[in-house]
Amino acid sequence: MADLQAILDSIYTDILPRVGEGKVADYIPELAKIDPRQFGMTIVTVDGKVYRVGDADIAFSIQSISKVFMLTLALGKVGESLWKRVGREPSGSAFNSIVQLEHESGIPRNPFINAGAIAVTDVVMAGHAPREAIGELLRFVRYLADDESITIDDKVARSETQTGYRNVALANFMRAYRNLDHPVEHVLGVYFHQCALSMNCEQLARAGLFLAARGSNPMTGHSVVSPKRARRINALMLTCGHYDGSGDFAYHVGLPGKSGVGGGIFAVAPGIASIAVWSPGLNKVGNSQLGAVALEMLAARTGWSVF
Ligand code: DON
């Protein structure tokens, strides 16, 4: 294998002069306070080696990356019947768009846009009080990363609860189409807490390692999902993980990946490694600007593109 630490160091050298590019998410007041001049990256290989650079040990709000973990839980609960509630096609529209919902009977295009993720959260909540569903997700992520120190940032969750009008609209719309079983406030309470999971690059790369390793985490020995399910989750990340920037990310990076408005991107080199990168400045479609640049450099310097 290439000298991954040397590659990470070279990426860091190239990125450093640009650190601060992009615009932090300001529609969630608590995220608007984050200093954009930060960059960290971690690679965890399927043989258990960890490589890191920059601010890889600073915890950040993983936001929409949590949708991958919630999707994994929902598929574990209801299997393929999940797809009655949510589609599997790229949306070509913004992560918080409402336009397709009306034309498509309240069935969101995919599990990674906000509407789809809210429906997925509703599925995971079946038989649980909201607090228990949040607990289940937190336990799951801690188990995946083998790290009990992972927490949810209540301030971020509260900040979004106070300002998440669009998500309230999306959830009410789906409820009107009977595509939410639980009260809107309960589902959004869970959804805002899942988005407020606070993790550093290393914790995130470890938590997602099962997706790079045919469904099992080689560091913990835990079998999480079948190889087929891991492949399918990766397919969804590749086609839908960056919203209306998914085609561009596939074109430039060529790896399944999921972004969040906290500035994190989780990516998978199947059979090789999981990668987490964080830099809070976002591009126009709400994905980490330098995170995507760094992943493009990584894919070019390692040859890890799936294409
Ligand atoms: O629901 C929201 O708008 C945020 N909690 C998450 C959005 C997000 O991370 C989109 N990612 N780029």
pLDDT tens for 24-61 read 999 999 999 999 999 999 999 999 999 999 999 999 99
Query: Residues 277, 132: one domain?
Result: no
Output the pLDDT for position 149.
Answer: 98
Rounded Cα gap, residues 24 and 26, in angstroms: 6
Give me the helices (H) in 16-129, please: 29-32, 66-78, 99-103, 114-124
24 has binding-site annotation: no
Output the pLDDT for position 124.
Answer: 98
Rounded Cα gap, residues 39 and 59, in angstroms: 12
289 pLDDT more than 80: yes
Query: Residues 273, 202: one domain?
Result: yes
> Is residue 236 in a domain?
yes
Cβ–Cβ under 8 Å, residues 66 and 73: no
Q: Which residue is associated with the tokens 């080689």?
A: 218
Query: Residues 179, 205: one domain?
Result: no
Which among 190, 81, 63 is positioned nearest to 125, based on CA atoms? 190
Output the pLDDT for position 161.
Answer: 97
Gap from CA of 190 to ligand 1 centroid (Å): 14
> Is residue 231 in a domain?
yes
**243 in catalytic set:** yes
Boundaries of domain holding 277: 4-63+197-302
30 has binding-site annotation: no
Which position among 51, 53, 67, 253 bears the catalytic label? Answer: 67
Q: What is the ipTM of this complex?
A: 0.98
Which letter does DSSP use for residue 126 in this model?
Answer: T
Mean pLDDT of the chain: 97
**50 in catalytic set:** no
> Is residue 297 in a domain?
yes
CA-nearest residue for atom 4, ligand 1, is 63
User: What is the tally of structural domains in the chain?
Assistant: 2
Query: Residues 107, 218: one domain?
Result: no
Query: Residues 138, 208: one domain?
Result: no
185 has binding-site annotation: no
CA-nearest residue for atom 7, ligand 1, is 64
Ligand 1 atom nearest to CA at 95? 10
Q: How many helices (H) and strands (E) does the chain have?
A: 14, 10
Query: Residues 191, 201: one domain?
Result: no
> Is residue 49 in a domain?
yes
Q: Which residues contact 61 (CB under 8 A, 6 or more apart)?
A: 30, 31, 153, 156, 195, 196, 197, 198, 260, 262, 264
Cβ–Cβ under 8 Å, residues 260 and 64: yes
- End residue of a domain, out of 195, 219, 235: 195
Query: Residues 138, 71: one domain?
Result: yes
Ligand 1 atom nearest to CA at 27? 3
Q: Which amino acid is at 10?
A: S
- End residue of a domain, out of 171, 195, 219: 195
> Is residue 307 in a domain?
no
CATH number at residue 49: 3.40.710.10
**184 in catalytic set:** no
Q: Ligand 1: which residues within 6 Å by Cβ?
A: 63-64, 95-96, 114, 160, 167, 195, 259-261, 286-287
Which among 60, 61, 83, 58 is positioned nearest to 71, based on CA atoms? 83
Kindly state the average pLDDT of the residues 223-232.
Answer: 98
Query: Residues 47, 118: one domain?
Result: no
Instruction: Ligand 1 pocket test: pick from 64, 66, 167, 259 the residue with the most ligand atoms within 8 Å of its Cβ.
Output: 64
239 pLDDT more than 80: yes
Q: What is the pLDDT of residues 117-163, one digit of tens each?
A: 999 999 999 999 999 999 999 999 999 999 999 999 999 999 999 99
124 has binding-site annotation: no
Kindly state the average pLDDT of the residues 6-27.
Answer: 97
Which among 190, 176, 154 is positioned nearest to 98, based on CA atoms? 176
Gap from CA of 200 to ligand 1 centroid (Å): 17
Query: Residues 93, 171: one domain?
Result: yes
Residue 214 banded pLDDT, cuts 50, 70, 90: very high
Query: Residues 72, 54: one domain?
Result: no
Q: Which amino acid is at 135?
A: G
pLDDT over 90, % of the chain: 98
1 pLDDT more than 80: no
Query: Residues 69, 58: one domain?
Result: no
Gap from CA of 165 to ligand 1 centroid (Å): 13
Which among 39, 96, 42, 61 is positioned nearest to 281, based on CA atoms? 39
- End residue of a domain, out of 163, 195, 227: 195
2 pLDDT more than 90: no
Output the pLDDT for position 58.
Answer: 98
Kindly state the average pLDDT of the residues 261-268.
Answer: 98
Tokens of 204: 């995130």
- Whether this prediction's pTM lies above 0.90 is answered by yes
100 pLDDT more than 80: yes
Query: Residues 210, 260: one domain?
Result: yes
Rounded Cα gap, residues 106 and 182, in angstroms: 15
